[in-house]
Each structure stands twice: as C-alpha cells, then as structure tokens.
Structure 1
Amino acid sequence: MFFSTLKIRTKITSILLLLVILSVFSISYLSFIQTKVSIEQKYAESFEVISNLKTGQINKRFEDLEHHLKFIYKSEKVVLSARKLNMMSSFNSSLYKSLKHKLDAELIPKAIVNRFSNILLTDRKGKLLYNSYKPPVGMSLGEVDKKIKQFLPLAQEETYYSRPFPTSKGVSIFIVSPPIKNRGLYLGHIILLYNLEKNIYPILEDRVGLGETGELLLCRMQSEKIAEYISPLRHRPEAILSEMVLMGSPISTSVQKASLGEGKDFGYDQDYRDEKVLSYWNYIPSVKWGLVTKIDYAEVKQGLDKLLFTFLQSAFVILIISTTVSLLFSKYITTPLLTLKNKLKLVAEGILQVDFTNDQFSKDEIGEMADALNDQVVAIRKTATFAEQIGQGHYDASFSPLSENDTLGNALLSMRNSIQDADKKEKQRSWIVSGVAEAGQVLRMHNSLDEIGDAIIGFITEKIEAIQGGFYTTQEAENGDEVLQLNATYAFNKRKHLQANFRFKEGLVGQVAADKKTMLRTEIPEGYTYISSGIIGDQEPHCLLIVPLIAEDKVFGVIELLGLHQFTETQISFVEELSIVLARTIHNLKNGEKTITLLQESRKMSEELQLQQATLQQNAEIMSTTQEQLQKSNEKLEQQIQSSNNVRKRMQLLLENASEIITIYETNGAIRYISPSVYPILGFTPDELIGSNDLKNLHPDSLPIFNSFFERLLETPSQKLSIQYAYTLKNGETVWLEATGTNLLDAPSVQGILINSRNITERKKAEKETRKRNQMQSLSENSKDLILRINTEGEIYYVNPAVKQFSGLLPSNYLGKNYKETEFEERFKTHLENLLEEVTSSARTFQDELATDTTNGEKIMQVFGIPEFNEIKEIESVLITAHDITERKKAEDKIFENNKKIRESINYAQRIQSAILPTIDNIKEELEKSFVFYKPRDVVSGDFPWYMKQGNTLYLAVADCTGHGVPGALISIIGFFLLNQIVKLNPDASPAEILFQLNEEMTKALKQNKESSTRDGMDIAMIKMDKSNNYIEFAGAHRPLYHFDTEKRELNQIKGDRLSIGGGFYKEGTKFTNHEIFYRENDEVYVFSDGLADQFGGENNRKFGPRRIRNIITQQEFKDMKGANETFQKNFEDWKGNFKQTDDILLIGFRF
C-alpha cells in the first residue's frame, strides 16, 4: 500500500537505485571471492615449492644416513668384530681392547664425517658390546636408557627411527639397523645417536617466503591415537617435544594427515595455539614423518581487508552518483507513465531483457525518457555481463563505458585493472621469493668466497636473463683504503684484461659503492664492454645494472650485470633483495675468517711469550750464578776457556750420537733438559719437549706403569729403578723404550729426576718371536698331526716327530731333502706337489683330503697348506699339516647310510599313506565349494581327512592323531580303516554313535586296557550331511565346528566333547553329544585340527590361537572358497615367519 501511494519520480528513482546496488554488490562480491581464491592459490603454490624443497632435503639426509648405516652394519670388519664380541665373557681383556681399537679406527671417522653423536653395537638382547665414545662397555642398554630395548624388536626387518628425545647436547634420535647376521647367526644391531638440533632443525629455521608468522613443523605418529610435534615451535619454543594431537580431533588436522602420510594437500586448519592458519602438509617416507608448512590466516587476511575496503569505497561512490542521476531523470516526470508501467515492473523484478523502442512514443519528455530508460537498461545489462565475466576470472573481457563521464563503467574498469595489477604483483613476488630461496640453497652449498662468487654470479645472470655479470667484494688495500676487487665473472671473454680493482667513486662500480644506491643505465658509455658470441658476434650491451651489497649500512661488494634488453622492475627487485642476503653472507664469511686468524695469532703470541718468559728467567738465574763465579775465578778463566770449549764440543757430539736419551724431569713431570740424541731416536727436537710433559706420547697401557715408576723414584732418592714402556714417535709409530731412573733432587748439579732411555723395540720383537717359536715348537713336537715346512724349492727343513707314526722313519731321515726324494708314499708325494703348486700360485691357504698308506694301514688325512711370507711379502715356505680323520669319515659314512635308510622308509610310508587316504580332489568332487588346507610338518602326517559317501549321505571328518611323522601316520591308517568299517556296518549311525564305536575299536586295537600305559589316540571332528535336507549333524572329540551365517555375519562355534578317541582314558558308558545344525544357502562350515591354532610365531613368538581363526572367517568376505584357502595360507605363513612349523595342519571349509 505504501509503495502504491508514492509518486512516479520516487518509484523510478527507487527502482534504478536498487538495480545499481544489486549490480555493484554482485560485481564486488564475485571479485572479492575470486581474489581470495587467487591469493590462497598463490600461497598453496609457494608452500608446495617450499615444502617439497624441505622434504627433499630432509629425506635425502636420512636416505644418506641409512646408506651409511647399511655400509657399517654390513661391513666385514664390523660383522667379524660383532661375532667375536658376542663370544667374549670379559670386556677388560687385551683382546677386547684390540677389537675396540680396530672398531674405533673403523667407525669414529665415519661418525665424525656423517655427524653421528655416537655409534653403539649391541648383541641381540640389548647388551652393549661397543660404544664409540663413552665408557663403560658391557653394561645393559637398559641401564643407559630403559626404553632403548623396545627398539630392537621393531628393527627386525628394516631400519628403525626412534622417537626424538632431549639430551644435554640437544634433541636426538636413535637409528637402529636391521639385525647383523653372519652364517645364519643373529649377532645384534648397530645403533646411531643422531642430533636433530644440529643437523635437521637448521633446515626448518630457514623461513624465507613464510612471512612474519609462518613456520615449518615436523611431526610423527607416537601411537595409533596420538600424533606429536618433534621440532621447535616458533610461537612456543619452550614446548619442544611436549605438544601432542589426538587423532580425530578437529584441531591440527594437517598434522594428523601429515603424520599418517595421507599424501600432500593444502587447506585451512587450527594450529596448536587454536589460531586459524593456512597449512600445507607433506610426508617424508624415509623416516615416516610429516612436514607441515603454515602461516597465520590473520596475516593473509590483512591484504584481503584492504581490498574489501577498496571495494566498499567504490560501491559508495557509485551509489552516490547513481542516486544523483536517478533524481535528475525523475524530477521531469510529472504525469503517470502508464505505458511504461508494465515494463518498469519487469525491470524492477530484475529482468533486463526489455526494449523501450518497440512502442511509438511521442517526441516529448516521455519519449526522451523512454529512450533514456532503454539506454540505461542496456548499459546495466552490459555492466552485469561485464561483472559476471570478472567474477568468473575473465579479466581480459571486453567492456567500454558509455562515455568518458560514465562513472559506473569507469569504476568497473578501474576495479578490473586493480585486480589484474594485484594478480601480476603476486606472481612477481612469488618469482622473487622462489629465486631468493634457490639462491639461499646455492650459498649453503659453498663455504669460500671464491666458490660463492662463481656460483652466485652465474645463478643471478641466468635467473634475470642477463648476458654478462661481475661479482666484486670489498677488500682492504695495502694503504688501508677499501677497494672493490673482482672475485668472479660470468661470460666475460677476456677476464685477464678486466680491471680487477676499483676504489670507491672510481668508475661506475666505485660510484655505486660510494652512493650505496642501485644504478640502472640504458645508455651505456661507448666502449664500456662488448658481448661476444659465435652467433651474434661482438655487440654492445643496451642495459647496465649495478647493485651494491649492503649490510648494517656497510658496503661489502657490488654486482654488475649487462643485458641486451632492459631489465624489468621485477628482475631489479630480485637482485636488490638478493643483495642483502649476499652482503650478510660475505659479512659472516669475513667475520669467520677474521676470528680464525685472530685466534691463531693469539695462540702463537701466547706460546712465544711463555717461551720467552721461561728463557728470560733461566738466563737471569744463569747470569746471577755466572756473575758470582766470574768474581771468584776471573784469574783462572783464560786458562780454562780452551779446555772448556773442547769438553763442551766433545759432550755435544757424545750426546747427539749416543744410543741413549738423557732426560732431567722436574718433580711435577715437566722436562727441564733432554739430550740432543732425542731427535734421531724419537723424532722430536729438544725444544719441542723441554718445558712440557711428554706423558701424552706414552701408549695408554703404559701410562700407569710410567706414573708408578716416577712416583717410586720420588719416594726413593739415590736408588736406581728400571721399567719398559711403549712410546709414540713423532711420525706416529709406537716403539718400546727401556728407562733407568735415579732421584738426584739433592745433587746440586742436577736437582731433578735423571732418566736414561733407550730403544729396545727390536729386542722386544726378537723376544716375542722367540717365545712364539718356542710355543709353536712345543705344540708341533707334541702334536699327533704330521707337520712339515717346505721351501719353494721343495726342500724339507722341518718335520715333527709324528712322521715316525706316519712312515716309520725318524725326522732326521727327511730334513734337508727334497720331498720327492723321501720315503713318503707316492700318492702323498703327488698330493704334496699339487698342494705346493696351488698355495704358491694363489698365495692362500689350501685345504684338501686324501687317502694314503701309513705304518698303521690306509688312513684318510685332512691336509692344510699355509703360505709363509718374508719381509717383502714373497712366499718363502709352505707349512703343511696333515690330520688323521679316518674315524670321523667312517662315522660320517655310517650316519649317511642310516639317514638314507630312514629317508627311504619314511618316503615309502608317505606313499602308502597317500595311496590310502582320500585326496583333496576326491573331497572337492562331492563338495564343489570347498577347500582343504593340508600341510604336514614332516614327510608323513598324523592329521588326515576322511570322507565316505553312502547313498545321498556324505560323511566328512578331520582327525588329529597323537604325535606326527611316522608314529602319527600309523595311528592315522588305523583310524582310517576303523572309520570305513564302522560306517559301512552302520550306514544310519549318527556322528556321535560313530565316534562312540570308533573309541571302542581304537581302544581294542591298541590294547589300551586298564593296565596299559599307552596313550595313543586321536581327536576328531565328524560331520554327517544329506544335501536334500537343510541341516547337518556333528559330533566332536576335543575338536569344534565353526558355522558362519554369511547373511547375519555371525559365527556359531559348536564345541566338541572333552573326550578323546583311544588314549587309555575310555570309560564304559561314555557318550558323545550329537548336534544338529540348520543352514541356509551360502552359509560356511569349518572343521580343523589343532595344528594351525598351536603354531608359534608373530612378534612375540605366541600361538596363532582359535580367536585369530574366527577373526579371519568373520572379518574377511571371501568371493569363493579358493580365496578363503589363500587367505588362511597367507596368514599362516606371515605368522610363522622364520619359525619352524609346530604341528601338522589340516583345515577343511565348505560353502552350501
């Protein structure tokens, strides 16, 4: 009613305003949504690049670690050492120390190179056998870390990465190798301690491209229901390793998906602070960790808020203009426009497909209004179409305003241009961020300034499509001024002719460094440089870009770039942003080099100062003493000068060429004097040892011996003591020294501990060799084996007394003779000839067996040929041992014959059993939808299937006899024939009646009366069925039947009676229970022996169990019974693994 009372002018104004408002709102809303989606897509692309880069770095780091770990635990040295360590009972023996020394030499360099904090070697139970850094050895891993034992079962198939944990040196993980195996033996594991804080977290701390609130987070599955953060949190640095996420929670869904490895994707999320964020999740397959890249939505929203405010301002301006225009048009309308009413109603309803030119209007104001309205509707229609195209992302859509003064059209064009500019700037910014990130990777790959210069100038030149480039760094000239030195160039054809140095304000390079501003010139001075190429020849560049490298308001260098085309603003911005990173990098490198130089100079000056102080003090003492002596002996000095010089020269020559070292020690162990002979004997000059304590050069095993020796010298003045100890020469070689010491602290001329030392290494070697020879001689002389030593010419120069038992002659009959000329049996001499040829040609130990005649008859000998080498690694002789293995060979032959007979008997029994018992094909002929899973433990089986058909009635049984192998097979044959006999004589008997009669007949057949001690018998599941009925009958002796209703998905277990067939437990009157089971089409029935349920296996070596059988039946939907058979067999094999089969297995299943 209210609207109908309004004037036409008001109505027209209202309708036009409504149309304009709707159009502006639609355009603004669609543009805002499209811009929002575009910004989110840019973040997604940027995060994908960053995430893939970081994921690749971390994954490559752990793949390399796993490669090095595999190399370690498969190393022959490590495997052999692990085998020896497993057999050791004591970890304090010299043998253990020798093994540890070898392992240290093998593993510690690898730990240093690969940044392992520690390398552990354990046995299979977790006992620590070796530790590369921290003693003690031999203690259980449970005492070091109670949780570490849990890792070993998890590393049986592949490398296991533990949960990160804090240590005194930062967050670390254990990396556990698969089992170390040798000849089938499980020896243990290699465990690496790897510091994440030093090696992995620095990768995450590089947040270039992530804004002010972005961060990179590592996560993993702690359990099936909990995921955890395993890297520092930017906004909660104190909460490392303490933040968890419950799986299924609406918070941190990106962390949940990343931890589960559910691909990679991008979306909104709530982080650990309950803040809305944009997240990108990724997966690191090598360690099964997730990586989440995120940024606060508030930071993203800042740009959207500005854009929304711009849209609102534009809408407000358009609304004001539209209102003014509508009022101007409507104030001239003074009479009702009945002709236009209906069409205006259509316009008011939003229908713009209206044409006011079809009706004949007069040329007065109404006709002009009609024309104006028609123009306005057409313009709005074009505007709506243009707005729709912008909303669909078609920013290049064609649109022209009605005129230069068309405010609405111009505003829409301005808005479209703003959106296009924003999109273009976002792409340019993304290109710059990606380029800076790639440059950061280049910088981290190099450590020296020259390498960085060559790598980065090539990268920048190619990145911005320049032709030539130069990289200058600020250096200090000899006069103290700073100059710009050319460090690296790109594509300069005559670098040696380039000016390498520029002073500040010298040339364009120097001027840019002095002004600290970027220079871009498109007018290049003539002859500035030429660009050479085989295609374009020599050309002058058209654009020159020179950018200073500034950090902390200081110039650290300049980048000079030349191009054939003018560089874009984006390329210039990229170089300027990268210049800050380069300046900081150069600054850090120079600070590091300067710090190292200062430390080296400081250390050198300190050492020189200490030496000078000691020299000055000694000189002062000498000068004081000399002054007193000069005053007393001035008159005798001239006569003694010549004599003193002669004595000093003589003593110097004696000391330099002496075979002993004379050393005077202070009471604190410092060397006050050492004779010049130390240089030819130990390799050190006197100056290198005087004033120092040379205990560091002693072998660790000799250190306590020398300390005790020194303490005893301090306690017993004037008494001579002697020791022998190991000492490390300057070249690293270890020698043996014999030292004789005397306490001369009270002697005025010495006032110290005097020790005379000499090198006794050769003597020790000779003594050791003599002991070995005596031991070997004793063993050889008393050995029952024949031992010969023959040189390469065939001459025997040693033979032990056992030769008399071998040939009847004494050793003297062989010594000095060629073996071909001795009384050895001809077959033995021929064998010696072949053996010597094999050993000398291969330089390896050779083993063989032969039969030969001896004084005690023919003997079988096991002969070894062992090469013996001289100092230059040439074979000088061959040691031959011959061991009598005649009795062992006879025993082996007898065992082989017995085993052969047993195998033949078992195979024959298997053929008999196979011929008697029904085959799987026989059963499947009667039950088409069935399977038989039959797997004997041995060649013959104590489990057997039985079936018989009597008319329309089918009997089916699964029997499990006591024992397995041959005993079980014998019981199975007895049971088979008894069942045949009982069913044939009693065709209408129920399963319970059949079992009752079978029990009686088995007891009689095995004579299991009350006095009998035999307990042989069987457990059995018996089924009787008639296909014309819809039920089966069942009775069981210790065996159940499983009936599975496939429609209801329910399993019904019908237990057998707790009675056995036979076994000596029969009581008169015992009855078995008969069960009737109704079934429907597609129902399934399973009967089985106890072999599958009793199979040991799995992670904890437990039984398979009946419950697991029931789970397989109920949880799997089998397409057919063949699939059921394959499922049962696969589950059995997976469960059994490397364990032995426990018992015979028989399972029959069929579907109605």
Structure 2
Amino acid sequence: TYHELVQNTQIIIDKYHQGFINLQTDYKVQKQIVNTQLNVIGSQIRRTASKMSESVAIDFDATNKKTQILVNKTRWQLFITIIIALFIGISLGLFISRSITVPLAIVINRSNKMSLGIMKIDVQNNVEQLMVRQDEIGELGRAYDTLVTYFKVIIEDVVQVSLDVANGNLRSIPKAEYKGDFVQIKNSLENASFNLQSVVKDIVQVSQGLASGNLRVTPKAKYKGDFEQIKNALEITLLAQSQVIEDIVQVAKGLADDSKNVVAKADYQGDFIKIKTALEAAANKLSESMARNTIQNWLKTGQTELSKKISGEQEITDLAKNICTFLTTYLEAQVGAFYIVEEENRIKLVASYAYNQRKGLPNEFQIGEGLVGQAVLEKQKILVTDIPENYINIQSGTGEAVPKNILVMPFMYENSVKGAIEIGSFHEFTAIQLELLEQVMPNIGITMNTAESRMKMQALLHK
C-alpha cells in the first residue's frame, strides 16, 4: 500500500543520510590525521593534503548537492505517489461503497413500499442486476426477492379466499403453503370460513323451518362476537313471527266463534302491521255484521213472536193484552198501556201491563187530549223524557217510581188510526226498539181492524 511505500522510502533516505554523516565524520578524522601528519612531513604534504582536502570538499559539495536534489525529487515522487494512492483509495472506497449502498437502497425502497402494502416492483432491472451478483449482496437480493415473492403469494391467497367468501363461496380454503407464523393466518382463514359456514347453515335451517311452518325451530350454531347479533335477530324474528301467528290463530278462532270482542293483541311491526290492520278490519266487519244480524234477528224474532201472540181469533181485549204485554217485556220496558179508538172519537184504555191506575186520571180521552190523544191526532209517535210525577207510576213489591221515558205509538189501518200503545221505561228507547215498533204497528193495525170487523159481524149475526 502507499503507507508501506512511504515508510520504505523514508528508511532508505534515513540510511543514506546516516551514511553521509558517517562519511563526513570519517573525513574529519582523516583531515585531523592529515593535519597531524602535515605538521610532521612538512609543508609539501600540507599542500598536498590541502589540495586533497579541497578536492574532497568539492566532491563532497557536489555529492551533497546531488544528494539534496535526489532527496527533493524523492520527496516529490513520494508526494505524487501519496496523492495518487489517496485518489485510488478514495475512488476504490466510493466504488465499494456504491456497490453496497445502491443495492441496500433498492432493498430499503422495496421494504418501505412493502410496509405501505405496495408489492408491485417498479425497478425490475435493478433487482435483476442485484440478483445476478455472486457476492453477499447478490445473496441478500435473492433472499429478499424470495421473501417478497412469498409475501405476494400469501397476500394473493388471502385476497382470493376473502373474495370467495364475499361472493358467497364459503367452501374456499387457503391454497398457498403457509410457513412459520404464517400458519396462524391459514388457521384463522379456515376458522373464519368454517364459522361462516356454520352460521349460514344455521340461518338456512332456521329459514327452511320457517318456510315449512315450523315456528319452534331455533338457532343451533355457536355464534361468536358480532354474530351474536344475528342469533339475537333470528330469535327475535322467530318470537315475533310465533306471536303473530298465535295472534292470527286466536283472532281467526274468535271470528269463527262469532266473538264480538276479538282483537289483535300481539305487537305487530313493519309489514306485519298490514296483517294487524287486515285482522282488525275483518274483526270490525264481522262485529258490524254480527251486530246487524243480531239486530235483524231481534227484529225478526220480535215480529215472529208477536205474530204468534196475535194469531187466531181472539177478542179485542185479549189481543190488546197480549200485544201490550209482549211489546213491553220485549222492549225491556216496565209499564205499558193499550188504547183503541172507539166511536165518536173516543180513545179508551182496554189493556195494560204493570199499570197502576192513579186516582183522578181518566181511562178515556178525546182525540187531541193528553199525550195519547195528541199522538192519535197527529198520527205520529210521541217520545217524552220529562215525565210529571203524577202521570204514570211503575209499581213493584218494594215500591213505585216514575218512568224516565214515555213512548206513545199510534197504529193505523188504511190511514185510519185504530188505537195507540203507550210504553214507559227507566231507560231511553233505542233506535232499534223504535224501529221494531214502526215495523209491527201496521200488522197490529190490521189485526185490530180484523178483530173489530169480526166483532161487528158477530154482533150483526146475533141481531
């Protein structure tokens, strides 16, 4: 190396200088000897010695100058050699450094990209140049490329499995060769796929159970983590549907049994509200229909029963009694009176139900007199709610009381008033009760006219 060259050169110079010093010392010794001899030999020898001394001095000076020139030249050569050696060393160092730092920069760059999730190689030529080297850097490049390739294979396999699962292919399994700690990734993927399969199969069996009408089906798989929300949702759905079905069944049974109070009791939500609305509408329609049927049955039954009461040949008083009693009781009233119109526009009480004759109150009226006379005169019913205390009393075994409502309903035959019925009740008369009276009044008019005609005919026959 240049350090050794400098050291060797310095050693040579030192040896040459030491030889020169030795030569100078010898020269001084010889000069002293010569001077001593000169004192003995004489002036001739002195002159000869002086000449020799001068010659030696001249030679010495010449030699000294040559030596100095050689030393200076050697120093310049040594300096230039050192400069060249330094340049070569620096160049060699830069070359060696670059041959190491450039590959390391490539590796670091790819490592940084890998840390950011970028596996694509943008400098493939540099990587290939790095890999073809046969030194330690080449081994590093090949090892690193193998690592990157392995990472890419693992990542692609994980992505493929994830995409398959996302697309509904739950049978997808990892296909790459997982090594070392990467086996945990493979196990996690397989466990995740298995758990998803279990959950999906369980959801399918629950759905199939619901589709087949099995409301007792329950989730059987082991739901973990956020999957517990699916289990809870399934159980809530099953419970809600079970409650809805049971409620529909009880409503349907109620409708089948003609129950008037059937109502949807379950908590219907979402689109199930439509079912509740339909059930309530059906129940309301059934209730209304049943109410109408009940009313019609009540009206028809009243007409039929009344027809039975007045059928056959009966005396006027018997007919009046039967009609008055039936209507009063059928209307759930408490008192009733039956009046007929006689000759000379007289109205006479001929029958009653629970009627207590009050002192001073007449049994006969003129048309237009009192409520009964006014109703006969107007040929319209009269309904009174403010009853005087001395008008009519309803008497029982425990006492007597004034009715709250009085209804006077005239009955006619061919637009001729034949009589009137007066009914008193503690309760208000309903529209249905009034409708029944409206329906039976014509029949009562016909019946009473027939009985009156029959009575007149019998009277004529007796004469």
TM-score, normalised with respect to structure 1: 0.20
Higher helix share: 2
Larger RCO (alpha carbons 8 Å, 6+ apart)? 2
Between Structure 1 and Structure 2, which shows a larger proportion of strand residues?
Answer: 1
